[in-house]
Amino acid sequence: MNRRQWTIAAGAGVMAAAGGTGLALWQRRGEPAAATDADALWRHDFETPDGAALSMRQLRGRPLVVNFWATWCAPCVREMPELDRFHRQFRPHGWQVVGIAIDQREPVQAFLRRLPVGFPIGLGGFAGMELVRALGNPHGGLPFTVMIDAAGRSVRRKLGETSLEELAGWARDLGT
């Protein structure tokens, strides 16, 4: 096998492995999370786009949807109004929503001026990506949504775009 053939074969192998990984992650969309708790989440503090502090510890004790997103991620942008509708509809039932932007302050501020949301947004940076991985998304794809129950356990997660209907179904599965 000459150098060109070897390069093509190696590239095909890499593409097949990447495709297999993508397929495995796609098949896990919306699956129940492992029965582990989300201790890594509660140790994090994030800065908000306006410079305030967002302490995840303060959100503990009530059910929570955590959405990891970025302004440059088209599915993230499309699902933001759905997350906001879930927040408005389920807040009276004790639910909380928080968005962790894997992005820079300025683009997030500009995005929120165009599309304000009623739930807190934290600036994730590197710590946000570590948390994405700790919560069950080893490859760091976005958007990534995790549902935490009132006991602090990660009970659902999804890599990919979500919807109000899907989130509401997850909440109903938890009895709320």
The domain total for the chain is: 2
Over residues 13-35, the mean pLDDT reads: 44
Task: Look up the CATH number of the domain holding residue 74.
Answer: 3.40.30.10
- 78 and 69 in contact (C-beta within 8 Å)? no
Backbone angles phi, psi at 120, to 5 degrees: -70, 145
Give Cβ neighbours of residue 133 (< 8 Å, ≥ 6 apart).
140
- 99 and 109 in contact (C-beta within 8 Å)? no
Which pLDDT value is given to residue 25? 42
Instruction: Name the residue range of residue 8's domain.
Output: 1-29
Do 35 and 22 share a domain, yes or no?
A: no
Do 90 and 162 share a domain, yes or no?
A: yes
Residue 5 pLDDT exceeds 50:
no
Q: For 99-152, how does the pLDDT look when each residue is reduced to its tens digit (9 = 90+)?
A: 999 999 999 999 999 999 999 999 998 889 999 999 999 999 999 999 999 999
